[in-house]
């Protein structure tokens, strides 16, 4: 009788442990889903901000370039205008580089669809394989949570590389050139005024 009571007492305890483990696993999965959703959303916003910054510097430089060329023949402003023109052209060049879409190289030979150099979630890669292969790989991914997280992590990492090594890198260079050019233009303008003979 005592043995039966002991078994009856341990059974609910085991069920409770299993339920707690199941709830903990579900919470971990939910937390992982939320983390990827938030982080990917933040990186997409950063990408849009980078494009907005690039468009801003392109617009400002185009306006200054138009106004500066109209003053090219003005007495005492020749060197100032030249500096501003070169500054605007260089700033626009790097801002445009930041906004140019980057596509992966064409796939050649046998491709490892699970390898590091292939991102199943990016159109630049999956557009190079046939639909049947793409559908089969997607089906395998969505039925395996580990593959889902691996694909999301790979996509997030690739997006971060583009932001760090391309967009924000070139935008930073563009703004630095623009700032230095403004200072040099101001300096040449002051020197031009000091060397202009008084009427």
Residue 137 in any domain: the answer is yes
Number of domains in the chain: 1
Residue 3 in any domain: the answer is no
- DSSP per residue over 44-91, as a string? HHHHHHHHHHHHHHHHHHHHHHHHHHTTTTSTT-HHHHHHHHHHHHHH
Residue 31 in any domain: the answer is no
Indicate the pLDDT class of residue 25, thresholds 50, 70 and 90.
low
Residue 163 in any domain: the answer is yes
The answer to pTM > 0.85 is: no
Structural domain of 70 = 50-195
Residue 165 in any domain: the answer is yes
- Rounded-to-integer distance, Cα 168 and Cα 152, Å: 22
Residue 41 in any domain: the answer is no
Residue 123 in any domain: the answer is yes
Structure-model confidence comparison of residues 109 and 18, the more confident one? 109
Tokens of 47: 């990408």
In the prediction, which pLDDT does 178 show?
Answer: 95
Residue 66 in any domain: the answer is yes
What residue has token string 């009427």? 199
User: DSSP 3-state assignment of 112?
Assistant: coil
177 Cβ partners below 8 Å, 6+ apart?
87, 90, 91, 94
Mean pLDDT value across residues 137-148: 88
């Amino acid at each position: 009788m005592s043995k039966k009571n002991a078994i009856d007492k341990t059974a609910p305890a085991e069920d409770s442990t299993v339920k707690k483990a199941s709830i903990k696993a579900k919470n971990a999965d939910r937390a992982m889903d939320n983390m990827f959703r938030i982080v990917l959303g933040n990186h997409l916003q950063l990408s849009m901000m980078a494009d907005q910054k690039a468009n801003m510097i392109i617009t400002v430089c185009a306006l200054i370039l138009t106004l500066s060329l109209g003053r090219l023949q003005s007495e005492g402003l020749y060197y100032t205008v030249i500096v501003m023109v070169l500054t605007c052209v260089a700033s626009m060049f790097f801002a445009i580089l930041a906004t140019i879409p980057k596509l992966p190289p064409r796939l050649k030979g046998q491709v490892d669809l699970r390898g590091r150099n292939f991102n199943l979630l990016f159109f630049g890669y999956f557009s190079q394989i046939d639909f049947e292969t793409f559908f089969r790989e997607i089906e395998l991914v969505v039925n395996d949570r580990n593959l889902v997280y691996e694909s999301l992590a790979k996509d997030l990492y690739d997006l971060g590389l583009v932001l760090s090594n391309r967009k924000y890198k070139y935008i930073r260079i563009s703004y630095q050139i623009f700032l230095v050019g403004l200072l040099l233009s101001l300096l040449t303008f002051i020197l031009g005024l000091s060397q202009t003979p008084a009427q």
